[in-house]
Amino acid sequence: MKHFLDINKTEPGDLRGILDEAKRIKSARAGRSKGTLDAETPLKDHIVALIFEKPSTRTRVSFDVGVRQMGGQTLVLSGSEIQLGHGESVGDTAQVLSRYVDLIMIRTFEEASLFELAHHATVPVINGLTNRSHPCQIMADILTFEEHRGPITGKKVVWTGDGNNVCASFLHAAGQLGFNVTVSGPEPLDPEQVFIDEARAKGAQVEIERDVFKAVEGADLIVADTWVSMHDPVSTRERRHNQLRPYQVNDALMEAAGKDALVMHCLPAHREEELTSSVMDGPQSVIFDEAENRLHAQKAIMRWCLK
């Protein structure tokens, strides 16, 4: 049984196969209305449970639409609707859901909940996000980069700001797919050392550069993310802004990077904070292509899980 739990837990050949499949799926839908079924309906007669302990826009809509376009049906559950880890153990919930559905996607807080769910489930489990990683997002990001610039192998990705769960999955992908990452942010918000060490052990060049203008020299891709997570307390907002303001992606930074560097942000974005509107809506931004590609990448992931 194939779970999609993290990029570093999926073989590089399988990752490449998923990306190739996502490109094929996207191409095959060209010209179709959003509501029409795919030419192939591999999820026909399948039910997919979508569990959201954390709320979402892109993850919820892209998975729901993706399942429907492939002929399946969804069962969307919020944390308040099931007793995951509260009134019932995660393991017991996994066993029960496995009797009802064919695939489970979960967007949760603790990584341990994801792993326990997968350990006890008898159907595939997909990581829709945890506090430590966001693999579906990075598969969409790589798909987007390769649409615009070709293979990501050997390229330079610059992560700006908080070394969070999305940054962690970029480091996972760097080790698996052979590209390099420069992280530029304040030291207290560096990514976990274990993620850096693993990527380096697999041959990726990972650098920490505090000077963001120096970091973006020769960049093929610059990635920003929100300064304050949706679940961070209000008391952290001013402190985070003071820490991260020097790492804003703006016109001056893009000029230092050069005209060939692409810009991504996994959204939701706070305009004029982590990046300016002039950059977000500018010619080097592929942010909305990136958002669309969540749909195609996740469809390929689901197909891989169920093959």
The pTM of the full predicted model, rounded to 2 decimals, is 0.96
pLDDT at residue 85, rounded to an integer: 65
Q: In angstroms, how far is the first alpha carbon of the chain from the final one? A: 9
**pLDDT tens per residue across span 215-274:** 999 999 999 999 987 667 777 888 899 999 999 999 999 999 999 999 999 999 999 999
**pLDDT tens per residue across span 149-197:** 999 999 999 999 999 999 999 999 999 999 999 999 999 999 999 999 9
How far apart CA 90 and CA 243 sit, in angstroms, is 37
Sheet holding 73-78, edge to edge: 73-78, 47-52, 103-107, 125-129
Q: Is the peptide bond before 268 cis (omega within 30 degrees of 0)?
A: yes
Q: How confident is the model at residue 14 (pLDDT cuts 50, 70, 90)?
A: very high
Residue 31 — left, alpha, or beta (φ > 0 → left; ψ -120 to 50 → alpha)?
left
Q: What is the 3-state secondary structure (H, E, C) of 127-173?
A: EEECCCCCHHHHHHHHHHHHHHHCCCCCCEEEEECCCCHHHHHHHHH
Mean pLDDT of 27-43: 96
Q: Is residue 163 a contact partner of residue 206, using CB atoms and an 8 Å limit?
A: no
